Every structure is written in structure tokens, then in C-alpha cells.
A and B are shown apart, each in its own frame.
Chain A
Amino acid sequence: MSLHTLTISELRDKLQRGEVSVRQLTQALLDRIQAVDGKLKAYLWLNPDDALRQADAADLTKPLGGIPVAIKDVLNVTGQPCTCASKILQGHISVYDATAIRKLRDAGAILLGRTNMDEFAMGSSTENSSWGVTRNPWDLERIPGGSSGGSAAAVAGHEAIAALGSDTGGSIRQPAALTSCVGLKPTYGLVSRYGLVAFASSLDQIGPFTKTVEDAALLLGVIAGHDPLDSTSVPAPVPDYQEKLNAGVKGLRIGLPKEYFIDGMDREVEAAVRAAIRQLESLGAEVVEILLPHTDYAVAVYYLIATAEASANLARFDGVRYGARVRGADVLETYSKTRGAGFGPEVKRRIILGTYALSAGYYDAYYLRAQKVRTLIRRDFEQAFQKCDVIVTPTSPTPAFKIGEKANDPLQMYLSDIFTISVNLAGNCGLSLPCGFTSQPKLPIGLQLIGKAFDESTLLRVAYAYEQSTPWHKERPAL
């Protein structure tokens, strides 16, 4: 029996029946990490003793009792490093728990270790990490997607039962698609951002990586909910996401935005997504054409708003209170030396872009205009959801690309989030799940489902119906 390949719900049964102990399970994962992480490099930090200590204290009556979960290096866990894969936070140890982390602890989860990412969540390939590249478990020459590439690779490579990531423009869904796991970006305001190191505050959300839709529903139920420490978290009760999983798709309307089936999309990706749509139809869903007319502007709007917010959010990394410091002759020189040495090129590029967009004389033309178009994009979705219950699109226009392939072409890299970015701008929820593989080489393809705001239940219900009627989630990478 390979414990590490099982899902949360399977393991919950085994643990509760006493077939395995939490210590055995945790040890199995530590062994797996030992065996494969040299190749994958999904983890940045691991403390086996601490993980086993948590295992010994685990409470099986809790919803995630004894389940080892990997954490993206952007979430604060007391006593653990939190570097956001940046040199500027080298050596920084968290002094508090993020709310999502506290909820995981309260639910009995074991906080296994910290996963790699693009520096400050800026990137789509995890190549922007200061600590090295994470590999795709399906093809070690390829990227796992990003920015939560470490969490995706850890779950897809069975180095964790589940993981948390963060999604600002697709950073959960795109790596989930490229590694064949389930990744969910909750509606903005559903999960507290307290303790998530901010990239773009109005777009960031924490969400789960899991092997199945059922596990995603379980994990989401644990981390969701109002938090007085996050003013943008919504004060509404959390529904039971598992309750309606089995309700099927009969009578549901599936919206197809024609703007999302573009030239330049990989032929096999398009074929897999169209097949998935037919599958949903055969399960009883009704397919309707919808319009999202402002889709073309999404990437431009995103790179103005996200970088503007990031330029302020990342200002605090100055070497004065924590993290790395490079001394200069005076304060100003200390700032520039610290930030010059601490930030990588992509982070610098975005800080400069955002600073420019907010500058006197440019604000109206860039930031303000972008906010207006963002409103139009949000309206596109509101109107579309009057005609349908869930929108279906590809998650990424291509399967995983090769390491280094787009590293010198930021614009090409930005386009790999073209299908996911709008969802963050609109604030809706989105989910990616496996919908097939390319043939030569065999690489995962992801199906994106987009839901109404705070309607994760329907999103999960459609995803579950599709998953249960297809074989894709059972496939495992040969590692």
C-alpha cells in the first residue's frame, strides 16, 4: 500500500479505522519526499521532526485530523521560514500564523513543509524562484506552472496529500492544469488573506491543491469563512461544500465564451476541452454560448493593477526591520543596495511597472483607466451568469513548456495566464481539474470552470460530476 498516493477522504477512513497511524502516514510522505524531491524540488523547507511531533499530537476527530498538507512559501506559519522564494526574506522566520494556517491547525492538519514558488508569486513557471527551479512530475524537463508550482508538483508528485497555494492571476489553476491536479481559486473575500504575503491585494486569494474534487471541497470548507483580521473577507456563513457534490449537472447551463477559443491555442488542448464539454452535455448539462467581450483587455488591465498594488506592497522589504540587509553609506543607499540585491529581475520589473503606472501624470491614463476596464470585465461576467450557471474554458492555452523556453520573453510568459486572469479581475471563483493529456509527450491538460461569486458549491458539483465520469484524475506520473 502506498499511503502517499491516497486522497484525504481515503486516508480519513483508514486513519479512523486505525488501519494506519498518523505517524505512519507522515513518515510515508517524508520517505516519498526523500525519494523524489531531489528530482522535483517542490519543497524549500522541511522539518521531519516537527512534522512527526505534529503527527503524534494529531486529533482524528477533526475534519483534517492527521492529514499532511504542504504550504506555499508565501503563507506565514509561526516558527517556520517564510521567504516568498526571495533573497530579500532570506532567514526570515514567521512570528504569527496566517488565518488559513490557524484554521488548518484547528482542523487537525499536519503542516508538512514549505513549497517553492515564483518570487513573491510573480510568474507562471516557478522559474522566478531565488532558490531554484521546480520540475513538472510528468516531465522533469518542463516547468510545473506557477506561481504555486511547488505546491502543484508536491501534490501531483504525491509528496503531499494536499497543499495550499495562492492565486492572483492563475497561480493555483494554471499549475494545477499543468500537473494534473485539482486547484481552486475561491471567490475574492471567501478566504481570509491575513498572513498571506501580499502580491496584489485586490486580486490575491488562498486556495487548495488536491488530488480530487471531493478533497478540494473538504479543504475549502476548512479555510473559508469570515475573519475579523481581514476587512475584505465577507461576513457570510460557509456552506457545506460536500453536501451537494453528488447532485449532478442535469439542468445546469454551461456557458462557452467564444473569446476563449483563440488562435494559437494548442490543438490537443482545444480538442480535450471540447471533448470535456461534450462529456458535460452527455451528463445532462445544457451548453449555451456566452460573450465576455472585454477579454482582450484582461492581460493589460491585470499587469497595470497587479503591478501598481505590488509596487506598494513590496515597499516594506527594505532591510530595516527584518529580512536581508545590505548596508550602504546612508539610509537611501541601504534601501537601494538591499532591494537591488534582494529582489530578482521579474520582481524588479513589476515594481518599476507599477511605480510608473501610479506616477503623477500617468495615473489617469494607466491605473485609473485599468480600474474602469476592470469594472467592464466584472460586468461581462455578471451578464454572462444571467445565461449560465458555470463557464467552461481551457485553463491554459498550452501544456507545460520547457524550462527556459519563455524565460527571456516576459510577454509570452504573461500570455500563459490569459484564461485565468479575468477571473481574478472579476473576483469570481475558478477551478481547474484534469481533462486529458497530450499524446507526444504525455502532458496534462486542465479544464477551467468559472463560477458565480460565492457559488463554489455549483463549481465543485460540476467538477465532481465530470471527474467521476472520466479517468484522468486516476493517472499518475511515472517518477
Chain B
Amino acid sequence: MAQRKAGAVNYEAVIGLEVHVQLKTQSKLFCGCATEFGVEPNTRVCPICLGYPGVLPVMNAEAIRKTILSGLMIGCKITRFSKWDRKNYFYPDMPKNYQISQYDLPLCLGGAVQIPGKTLGVTRIHLEEDVAKSFHFDTTSGVDFNRAGTPLMEIVSEPDMRSSEDAFAYLTALKEILITGGVSDCDMEKGQLRCDCNVSVRPVGQAKFGEKVEIKNMNSISGVKRALEYEIPRQIAALGRGEKIFQETRRWDDEAGKTSVMRTKEYAHDYRYFPEPDLMPVTVSDSLLAEIQQLLPELPEAKRQRFVRQYGLPEYDAGVLVANSTLANFFEKAAGKNPKAVANWMMSVSDITATPIQPVQIGELVAAIDAGQISGKQGKDVFAEMLATGKSPGTIIKEKGLAQVSDTGAIEGFCDQAIAGNPKSVADFKAGNKAALNALVGQVMKLSKGKANPQLVSAILARKL
């Protein structure tokens, strides 16, 4: 719901998202350590990512490329002269107690993400180093620095969203774009994609934004939606009671389904950003930009439109298939001469790519039905067998002796038998009862043990009578 009433006033929410995305690179942003997770704590570390005295950062060029690619995918302007800054704050998960980030000259500026019916602006994308991970035990805490220094892209949206649905759609679309570009796997459970929300409410029609509240600690895209579904009514209700909303940071508790205050504005950090003297500014050359432009993949929205145009699919089918790039690739390999039928078979199971069925086999199945080799009903049996065994439709048809008889000589024989054995039906048909033909077709099918091609049978019977 985009608007909500409190008393006589109709309020709307204004939402902006800060999305952190871990880049899929071999090594960390400023050292050679592997970006590998789920391994023994503190085994993917070196003096550099541990912030030992005297170490210096060296920039990972692949992380720059992937950030630029991300920017190009969402239509950003690529900053040709970008730089690094130090963001200062103390925390045990921060090896140097400053984070190397980008403050006033981020790599990408402007851009937009399309969601159904809306274009949502992106303010900027910058690159920074991820922090370590803290663990709290009974009496002590531990820090695992394996994650420290992983390239982390921050994508800041414009405050263009007006509802939790907008936020959900934005995150879903953004995630799909980044996966399509091979920039990140965006697995929220593994922390590869993290999201903070800035949300305020204001009376509909008021231009000025309300006081914004930042919400942290959402662990899934649906968690973001739930948090907003709690927070927006909370703020509106508070204003309705005549209370004020103050700028603060709140933590989302997914189990309780509530947000609660983490820190108020007085305790906001002064990060004391200043240019990182250990790194040279990043200059993006024409040739580098051209090289990255070559890598631009077809984006989900463009692909959806192409599926409608090129394969004649309904919008709905195109949307379902494009929502998952492996599904879309599967479809394009299988499409053949009857893409709609291929799409139907694919959508008849929850995820065809998780079954033993190969794209080419769906193509064969559709072709066998279209050629009249098997009936549509038989097709369903064959499909079930394909799901169970992974065998090709040709093999299954042969093994089960399902092939339709389209040999006119054999069918003519069955037809003659049926005409001779059912004089009543013949008489009815001749008297003008067209339905009587179906009884005769049924007899032929019975005689052929169901293998005769029914269309062929009808045609021959009609001719003979």
C-alpha cells in the first residue's frame, strides 16, 4: 500500500536504499588473499588485510572493472577520475580502524533500475573494502578476518520508492541485473548482498521530506519488505499521535517483526573522510571503458521484451523465463519451431533446470507432438518419464511402443473393420449425426491399441463413408 491515513491526514512513505554487494573476484580489494568463505576462521588473511604496521594497499583492477560494468548495466555515468578516501571509525571488525572507501568521487554516478511501471533512480555506486566478522561467545568475542578486504560495492538509490513493494521490486531487479552481469552471486544468506533502508513519511502533496530513519539488519529481500511494512505504519501512527520522528538508526528484529532504536542522531559518527594518501586516483581510460562495454550482457528487461518479440511469447511467460537467467538460457536452447509449447512444458514444473531434462529433449518432445508422432496426452506421459529418468523422448517413445500409426494402409484396414462391425453408427452418421463419427474413430483407436493418429483416422473414415 503506497498511502495510509492517520486521522485526517493521508501519508506516503519515501524510501531510499543503500545496497552493499560483494564482488565476485578471485582476490580481495587491496591484497592477494582469496575471497573464499565458509573456511576455517583467519586462514585467508595476510599482514595487509589484518592492518599490520607498515602495510600498504594495492588496488584490484578486476574489482574496478566489475564496478564499472555494474554502473554501465544500470545506466550510470562512469567517473573518469575517481579517488579513494579513508572513512574513520573504531570497531574491532575494522583492521585499520578506517575503511578505504570512496567519498566525493565515486566510480559511477546516476543511473536507474526499472521495475514494472516505474523507473527508480540510482544516485551513485562506489567501491570499498568489506569488514571482518565478529562472533560473540559467552565471555569473549572473536573476529574472523577472512571477509576483511573483500571488494564491496555500495549502490545508493534515490529516494524514489514509495512502498515496501517498490523496495522489494527494486532489490529483485537489481539482484537479477548483477547476477546477469556476473558481478556478484548476490546470495543474501552468505552476506553477498546487504541492504540498509532510509525511510521517512510525509503528508501526501508535501514536497519536503520527513525526518529519515535508517533501518539495518535485514537478512533477505523479503525481510526488507517486512521491515518497511512495520516501520512505515509505525512512523505514520507516531505522527498521528502528534509525536515527532527524529533522525535515528533502528535495528530490524526479524523474529519479533519489529524495529528498535540502535543509535540516535547525537551518536552519529563523524567519519572524518579524507583522501587516501596510499592509493593513486583511479583514471578510467577510453580503452578500458570500451573493453568493459564489450562485456555488457543483455539485461533482464531487454531480454523479456526480446522474448515477446522474437519468440511470440505472452508477456507473462517471458517474465517467468527471464526472472532466472539459467531458465532463460534453457529456453533459448530448447525453443525450436514452437517456443510457446516449449515454454508451457518448462513452466509445468517449478524449475526445469533442476531436473535431468536437457533443453534439446524438450525440443524433441514438442516436435514429436507437433509431427503427430504421439498425441498430446501421450506427451504428458513421456514428459513424466523424462523427469523421472532423464531419457530422451525418442527413447521413451520407442521403449513404450507409443509411436502413433500414421501408415495409411494399416489405418485403412482398421477403418474397414470398424465400418463393417458398426452398421448403426455408420447409418447414424449418414443420417447426418456427425458425432457418430467419433464412435467409429474410437473403434479404430481400440483396434490400433491407441497408436493410430486420430486426425488421420477421422479423415480416412470420412472419405470412406
Binding site for B on A (CB under 8 A): 74-76, 82, 84, 89, 92, 95-96, 98, 193-198, 200-202, 228-232, 308-309, 311-312, 315-318, 320-322, 331-332, 335, 355, 358-360, 363, 367
A335 to B97, CA, bound (A): 11
A309 touches B88 (CB 8 A): no
A402 to B14, CA, bound (A): 67
B279 nearest CB neighbor, chain A only: A231
A229 touches B88 (CB 8 A): no
8 contacts between A and B (CB under 8 A): A82-B53, A195-B55, A198-B54, A201-B277, A202-B277, A230-B56, A312-B88, A355-B272
A200 to B277, CA, bound (A): 9
A89 touches B97 (CB 8 A): no
B97 touches A84 (CB 8 A): no
A317 to B91, CA, bound (A): 12
The residue from A194, A197, A231, A316 contacting B280, defined by CB atoms under 8 A apart: A231
Question: What are the residues of chain B within 8 A of A98 when measuring CB–CB?
Answer: 54
B97 nearest CB neighbor, chain A only: A315
B51 touches A358 (CB 8 A): no
A372 to B239, CA, bound (A): 47
B52 touches A322 (CB 8 A): yes
Q: Is B237 an interface position by the 8 A CB rule?
A: no
Which of B91, B96, B273, B274 has the most chain A CB atoms closer than 10 A to its own CB?
Answer: B274
Q: Is B57 an interface position by the 8 A CB rule?
A: yes
A335 to B88, CA, bound (A): 15
A197 touches B53 (CB 8 A): yes
Question: What are the residues of chain A within 8 A of B369 when measuring CB–CB?
Answer: none
A233 nearest CB neighbor, chain B only: B56
Q: Contacts A95-B47, A355-B272; is A231 near B92 (CB within 8 Å)?
A: no
Question: What are the residues of chain A within 8 A of B51 when measuring CB–CB?
Answer: 316, 321
A358 touches B274 (CB 8 A): yes
Query: Beyond the given A89-B53, A201-B277, could you list 6 further A-B residue pairs with CB under 8 A, ordered by the A residue number?
Result: A74-B54, A96-B52, A232-B280, A315-B96, A359-B272, A363-B272
A315 touches B90 (CB 8 A): yes
Q: Is B270 an interface position by the 8 A CB rule?
A: yes
Q: Is B95 an interface position by the 8 A CB rule?
A: yes
B57 touches A231 (CB 8 A): yes
The residue from B54, B57, B59, B95 contacting A197, defined by CB atoms under 8 A apart: B54
A231 touches B59 (CB 8 A): yes
B98 nearest CB neighbor, chain A only: A312
A438 to B294, CA, bound (A): 71
B272 touches A195 (CB 8 A): no
* 0/1 interface trace, chain B 91-104, chain A, CB 8 Å (1 if under): 11001111000000
Q: Contacts A315-B90, A363-B274; is A229 near B53 (CB within 8 Å)?
A: no
- Would you give the shortest CB distance from B148 to chain A, in whole angstroms? 11
Question: What are the residues of chain A within 8 A of B58 when measuring CB–CB?
Answer: 228-231
A120 nearest CB neighbor, chain B only: B53
A204 nearest CB neighbor, chain B only: B277
B274 touches A308 (CB 8 A): yes
B90 touches A194 (CB 8 A): no
Question: What are the residues of chain A within 8 A of B90 when measuring CB–CB?
Answer: 315, 318, 332, 335
Q: Is B387 an interface position by the 8 A CB rule?
A: no
A200 to B278, CA, bound (A): 10
Question: What are the residues of chain B within 8 A of A229 when measuring CB–CB?
Answer: 56, 58
B278 touches A84 (CB 8 A): no
A92 to B51, CA, bound (A): 14
B97 touches A318 (CB 8 A): yes
- Would you give the shortest CB distance from A238 to chain B, in whole angstroms? 20
Q: Give how many B residues have a beta carbon under 8 Å from the other chain's beta carbons.
A: 30
A309 touches B53 (CB 8 A): no
B95 touches A316 (CB 8 A): yes
B residues 115-144 with Cβ under 8 Å of A?
Answer: 141, 143
A358 touches B88 (CB 8 A): yes
The residue from A74, A193, A316, A358 contacting B56, defined by CB atoms under 8 A apart: A193
B52 touches A95 (CB 8 A): yes
Which of B53, B57, B95, B98 has the most chain A CB atoms closer than 10 A to its own CB?
Answer: B53
B278 touches A201 (CB 8 A): yes
A76 touches B96 (CB 8 A): no
A84 to B91, CA, bound (A): 23
Question: What are the residues of chain B within 8 A of A232 when measuring CB–CB?
Answer: 277-280
B98 touches A315 (CB 8 A): yes
B residues 257-302 with Cβ under 8 Å of A?
Answer: 270, 272-274, 277-280
Which of B90, B96, B98 has the most chain A CB atoms closer than 10 A to its own CB?
Answer: B90
B143 touches A320 (CB 8 A): yes
Q: Is B109 an interface position by the 8 A CB rule?
A: no
Question: What are the residues of chain B within 8 A of A195 when measuring CB–CB?
Answer: 54-55
B31 nearest CB neighbor, chain A only: A229
Question: What are the residues of chain A within 8 A of B52 when measuring CB–CB?
Answer: 95-96, 321-322
A96 nearest CB neighbor, chain B only: B47
- Would you give the shortest CB distance from A324 to chain B, in whole angstroms? 13
B residues 44-64 with Cβ under 8 Å of A?
Answer: 47, 50-59
Q: Contacts A318-B90, A358-B272; is A84 near B53 (CB within 8 Å)?
A: yes
A76 to B53, CA, bound (A): 8
A359 to B91, CA, bound (A): 18
Question: What are the residues of chain B within 8 A of A96 when measuring CB–CB?
Answer: 47, 52, 55
Q: Is B86 an interface position by the 8 A CB rule?
A: yes
A82 nearest CB neighbor, chain B only: B53
What are the nearest 4 A-B pairs in CB distance?
A: A315-B97, A201-B277, A358-B272, A202-B277
- Would you give the shortest CB distance from A304 to chain B, in whole angstroms? 11
Question: What are the residues of chain B within 8 A of A76 when measuring CB–CB?
Answer: 53-54
Question: What are the residues of chain A within 8 A of B56 when measuring CB–CB?
Answer: 193-194, 229-231
A317 to B55, CA, bound (A): 13
- Would you give the shortest CB distance from B140 to chain A, in whole angstroms? 11
A201 to B278, CA, bound (A): 6
A471 to B59, CA, bound (A): 49
Question: What are the residues of chain B within 8 A of A355 when measuring CB–CB?
Answer: 272
A194 nearest CB neighbor, chain B only: B56
A367 to B279, CA, bound (A): 18
A359 to B272, CA, bound (A): 5
B54 touches A75 (CB 8 A): yes
A326 to B272, CA, bound (A): 26
Question: What are the residues of chain B within 8 A of A320 when measuring CB–CB?
Answer: 92, 143
Question: What are the residues of chain B within 8 A of A312 when measuring CB–CB?
Answer: 86, 88, 96-98, 272, 274
A359 to B274, CA, bound (A): 10
A367 to B88, CA, bound (A): 15
Question: What are the residues of chain B within 8 A of A311 when measuring CB–CB?
Answer: 88, 272
Question: What are the residues of chain B within 8 A of A335 when measuring CB–CB?
Answer: 90
A200 to B56, CA, bound (A): 13
Question: What are the residues of chain A within 8 A of B59 when measuring CB–CB?
Answer: 231
A92 to B54, CA, bound (A): 13
Question: What are the residues of chain A within 8 A of B141 when measuring CB–CB?
Answer: 331
A359 to B89, CA, bound (A): 12
Question: What are the residues of chain B within 8 A of A367 when measuring CB–CB?
Answer: 274
- Would you give the shortest CB distance from A171 to chain B, in whole angstroms? 16
* 0/1 interface trace, chain B 72-99, chain A, CB 8 Å (1 if under): 0000000000000010101110011110
- Would you give the shortest CB distance from B268 to chain A, in whole angstroms? 10
- Would you give the shortest CB distance from B70 to chain A, in whole angstroms? 23
A202 to B50, CA, bound (A): 22
